[in-house]
Structure 1
């Protein structure tokens, strides 16, 4: 996991998110990592996970393990 902020990323929110505020995250991908940030703090800290770690997270999430 890294906290470095890459220069240019295309960020998006889940289609399940609304524009009414609340607790949302935004995701962006580049060649080596999946980046995550708080949608309300776009200039704030970001997390970057290796693609393999993100894939494992999603696989376990789909199995109800997380």
Structure 2
């Protein structure tokens, strides 16, 4: 019997899924790939609010 193995999405996959979308905090912004407090993030190019940031598990 074949087993399905679920893999966790990478930081790039999660961030890339949001890049180009509209900011939910302001009316004029678009989400761009950036960093936020040293983490990979999708950040609004207008209000600079992060929509998502992904922490590096190795830093724990």
**Alignment TM-score, normalising by the size of structure 1:** 0.26
Using CA pairs under 8 Å that are at least 6 residues apart, name the structure with larger relative contact order, 1 or 2: 1
**Alignment TM-score, normalising by the size of structure 2:** 0.28
Q: Which has the larger radius of gyration?
A: 2
